[in-house]
Amino acid sequence: MNKQSAIATPSRTKELLNKYRFTFKKSLGQNFLIDVNILKKIIHHAGINENTGTIEIGPGMGALTEQLALHSNQVTAFEVDQRLIPVLQDTLTAYKNVSIIHQDILQADLVDIIKQKFTPEQDIKVVANLPYYITTPILMKLLRDHLPVSSITVMIQKEVAARMAAKPNTKSYGSLSIAVQYYTEAHVVMSVPKTAFMPQPNVDSAVLHLTLRKSPPVHVIDTGFFFSVVQACFGQRRKTLKNNLFRYFEDSFSREEIEERLQQAGIDGIRRGESLSMEEFALLSNTFYHPSDK
């Protein structure tokens, strides 16, 4: 397929917008990709090949879906906007390896759908241009559902991508960094200019590549408690660990007990959350965790 006939061009996108009298819904965060070269780079960074099974979220008019269909074995795409279903049936009619599901990804039983759509031995990857307003809930669902996927490659807001891949002692590092990196190895692989979209978004974009871990990098007694402690430590970024933990545990521990447990963990209470590694957060949560305390 030559570049001119691809869906991801300004002229073809405008033609489809006019044909279907389609208007963008701000509430759905719709920004369609109109640069084939960027899509091909995403495919490359995702490690897609002819044996890959791919899951896409928010296909829009099918710009990325088309490239996935050309380079992978099977594509299952979730589209929440009913108005786009006939558009996708039109633009993707030539591709017999594409399945469109009209459903909100947050409501989908992905484990069951993967069993239906892909073979057990297939390498499955998620590739998507995600709506900015709902990026984090979608990614956390994908990670917490423990899906049989090897990687997730997504176009998201540049600032959010930086936060998800951030290392300790940086401005971007926070509870979101820990949440994502507990389940994956995270890397920002490319930046994407606003001009690659129609309409142009107000923020810059980046492509984040997440490689799913076979097991977490740290041992925690209780995962939910671990994430709660991490969030508490970043509750007020300028406050010390000690002060944030006082606030979080005020109904469970006295100040003296909190200081004792910090000492027990070997962590200085005057440090701030952004200075702690994931290993230190695991140590902290395990030290504070006792079923009887909850």
Q: How far is CA 23 from CA 14, 145, 198, in A?
A: 11, 33, 11
Measured CA to CA, the distance from residue 159 to residue 131 in angstroms comes to 14
> Torsions phi, psi of 184, nearest 5?
-140, 165
pLDDT the model gives residue 132: 86
- The answer to the question of whether 129 is labelled as a binding residue is yes
pLDDT the model gives residue 4: 41
Residue % of the chain over a pLDDT of 70 = 96
- The answer to the question of whether 51 is labelled as a binding residue is no
Check whether 201 has a pLDDT greater than 60: yes
Query: How much is the average pLDDT of 159-180?
Result: 97
How many residues would you count in the chain? Answer: 294
Q: Where are the beta strands (DSSP E) in 150-253?
A: 151-157, 184-192, 197-198, 205-212
- The answer to the question of whether 33 is labelled as a binding residue is yes
Measured CA to CA, the distance from residue 272 to residue 239 in angstroms comes to 7
- The answer to the question of whether 202 is labelled as a binding residue is no
User: How does residue 117 score in pLDDT terms, banded at 50, 70 and 90?
Assistant: very high
Residue 98 parent element (H or E): strand 98-101
pLDDT the model gives residue 27: 67
pLDDT the model gives residue 2: 39
Residue 94 per-residue DSSP state = T
Residue % of the chain over a pLDDT of 90 = 86
* Cβ–Cβ < 8 Å for 84, 13: no
Residue 75 parent element (H or E): strand 74-78
Query: How much is the average pLDDT of 21-31?
Result: 78
Compute the half-sphere exposure of residue 164: CA atoms within 13 Å on the CB side of its CA.
30
Residue 129 parent element (H or E): strand 124-129
Check whether 123 has a pLDDT greater than 70: yes
Measured CA to CA, the distance from residue 69 to residue 59 in angstroms comes to 12
Query: Which residue, among 63, 10, 60, 62, has the nearest Cα to 40 in the 3D structure?
Result: 63
Lowest-pLDDT choice from 26-40, 70-84, 137-151, 212-226: 26-40
* Paired tokens of 99: 């399945």
pLDDT the model gives residue 162: 98
- The answer to the question of whether 147 is labelled as a binding residue is no
- The answer to the question of whether 104 is labelled as a binding residue is yes
Number of Cβ within a 10 Å radius of residue 106: 13
pLDDT the model gives residue 52: 98
> Torsions phi, psi of 270, nearest 5?
-90, 0
Q: Is 23 helix (H, G, I), strand (E, B) or coil?
A: coil
Measured CA to CA, the distance from residue 32 to residue 45 in angstroms comes to 20
Number of Cβ within a 10 Å radius of residue 219: 11
pLDDT the model gives residue 292: 53
CATH of domain 223-293: 1.10.8.100
* Paired tokens of 148: 């049989």
Lowest-pLDDT choice from 87-91, 197-201, 264-268, 276-280: 197-201
The domain 3-212 having CATH identifier 3.30.1490.190: the answer here is no
The answer to whether the peptide bond before residue 193 is cis (omega within 30 degrees of 0) is no
Query: How much is the average pLDDT of 233-243?
Result: 92
Q: Is 77 helix (H, G, I), strand (E, B) or coil?
A: strand
Task: Locate the domains of the chain by residue range.
Answer: 3-212, 223-293
> Torsions phi, psi of 103, nearest 5?
-160, 150
Q: Is 57 helix (H, G, I), strand (E, B) or coil?
A: strand
Most confident option among 17-26, 180-189, 192-201: 180-189
* Cβ–Cβ < 8 Å for 111, 147: yes
